[in-house]
């Protein structure tokens, strides 16, 4: 069987605008462009399920820099690059010269002469922006303390697959106003969804990001509600999403957070306010008995493993589009 080189429904002219672009935040793309990436992801996924190779990145190499531990990000990017015909290199930030004080700008310039793209999973978003500023190849944000765009793309793909649409879908996020929430909300309002976010006092999303999201919602036919009331957020929701209460880098706050978030667990009582056909989403890893009850995450409405699989397909679409 010959590998598919060009998708007939995605002419080259459409994809030329993506080549060489960075993915640092989801709102670097318009709602229309995000939908095009999701359509490409779904098509690539269908090809893979049918055993039909799609390998546009033969001879291409992805450098993967990790300062944070990872399961889904590392495996999905490495496997995805291989399935697209290229190869991926795991690079520990501690073992690179970055770990010995080499300027980010120097690393960016050198890596640009070795590989065709860089995926980086790290702490500082400003550091990723500096890497992109000095690199001449696409930079993909695999996670920073502020944003997780690849996760948001997988989330949107999952909801779209199960609900058949995104525009007008009611999405509730309950928990910490963290990097996952930031990217999820930005992607959702760009795609015209009705988003409700419930966080404990003191753990709200960044105010500037909320204002940006409100502007995107207005421009794209979406809605955004920010509240401290989880029931208000979940009422009649088509999808309910949560994340861990203590993200990487905030371990010292764990006991304080357990108390602050106690009333924000996504459990059977809370989801009784959602649509009966609601989807439950979680970016994983999950702590059953903390942010979500076992009955919800392991129940019939949970799509967390479809969501985890879609990291692979969404990221393959990004790689195919920008590299």
Helices 304-322 and 149-163, axial angle in degrees (round to 10): 120
Number of domains in the chain: 2
Does residue 206 sit in the same domain as residue 293? yes
Answer yes or no: do 34 and 97 share one domain: yes
Closest CA to 86 of 65, 117, 109, 124: 117
- Name the token pair of 206: 């960044």
Structural domain of 263: 151-308
Give the residues across from 4 on adjacent strands. 54
Mark whether 82 and 201 lie in a shared domain: no
Residue 72 assigned as binding residue: yes
Q: Which residues does the annotation mark as catalytic?
A: 121, 148, 151, 243, 283, 311
Do 109 and 178 sit in the same domain of this protein? no
Distances (CA, A) of 1 to 43, 52, 56, 80, 271: 18, 7, 15, 20, 47
> What pLDDT is attached to residue 1?
43
- Residue 282 marked as a ligand binder: no
Residues 30 and 125 in one domain: yes
**Residue 107 known to bind ligand:** no
Tens digit of each residue's pLDDT, the chain (323 residues) = 444 444 544 555 577 889 999 999 999 999 999 999 999 999 999 999 999 999 999 999 999 999 998 999 999 999 999 999 999 999 998 888 886 789 999 999 999 999 999 999 999 999 999 999 999 999 999 999 999 999 999 999 999 999 999 999 999 999 999 999 999 999 999 999 999 999 999 999 999 999 999 999 999 999 999 999 999 999 999 999 999 998 877 788 899 999 999 999 999 999 999 999 999 999 999 999 999 999 999 999 999 999 999 999 999 999 999 99
Q: Flag whether 61 is marked binding.
A: no
- Is 97 annotated as contributing to ligand binding? yes
Q: Is-contact 114 136, C-beta < 8 A?
A: no
DSSP single-letter state for residue 246:
S
The rounded distance, in Å, linking the Cα atoms of 285 and 249 is: 15
Within a domain: 127: yes
Bridge partners (DSSP) listed for residue 266:
292
Q: Are residues 159 and 299 in the same domain?
A: yes
Tell me whether residue 58 is annotated as binding: no
* 177 and 58 in a common domain: no
d(CA 28, CA 158): 21
């Amino acid at each position: 069987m010959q590998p598919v080189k060009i998708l007939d429904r995605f002419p080259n002219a459409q994809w030329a605008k993506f080549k060489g672009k960075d993915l640092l935040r989801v709102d670097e793309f318009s709602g229309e462009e995000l939908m095009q990436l999701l359509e490409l992801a779904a098509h690539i996924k269908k090809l893979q399920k049918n055993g039909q190779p799609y390998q546009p990145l033969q001879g291409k190499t992805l450098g993967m820099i990790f300062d944070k531990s990872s399961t889904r990000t590392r495996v999905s990017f490495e496997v995805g690059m291989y399935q697209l015909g290229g190869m991926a290199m795991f690079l520990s930030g501690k073992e690179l010269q970055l770990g010995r004080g080499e300027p980010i700008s120097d690393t960016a310039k050198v890596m640009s002469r070795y590989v065709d793209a860089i995926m980086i999973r790290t702490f500082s978003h400003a550091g990723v922006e500096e890497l992109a500023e000095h690199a001449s190849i696409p930079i993909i944000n695999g996670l920073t303390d502020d944003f997780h765009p690849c996760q948001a793309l997988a989330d949107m793909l999952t909801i779209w697959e199960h609900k058949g649409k995104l525009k007008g879908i009611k999405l509730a996020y309950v928990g910490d106003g963290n990097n996952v929430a930031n990217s999820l909300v930005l992607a959702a309002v760009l795609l015209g969804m009705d988003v409700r976010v419930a966080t404990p006092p003191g753990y709200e999303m960044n105010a500037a990001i909320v204002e940006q999201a409100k502007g995107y919602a207005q421009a794209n036919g979406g809605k955004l509600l920010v509240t401290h009331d989880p029931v208000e957020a979940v009422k009649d929701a088509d999808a309910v999403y949560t994340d861990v209460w203590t993200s990487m880098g905030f371990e010292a706050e764990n006991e304080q957070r357990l108390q602050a978030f106690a009333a924000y667990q996504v459990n059977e009582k809370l989801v009784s306010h959602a649509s009966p056909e609601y989807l439950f989403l979680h970016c994983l890893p999950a702590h059953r008995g903390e942010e979500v009850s076992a009955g919800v995450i392991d129940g019939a409405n949970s799509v967390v493993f479809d969501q985890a699989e879609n990291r692979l397909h969404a990221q393959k679409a990004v790689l195919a589009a920008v590299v």
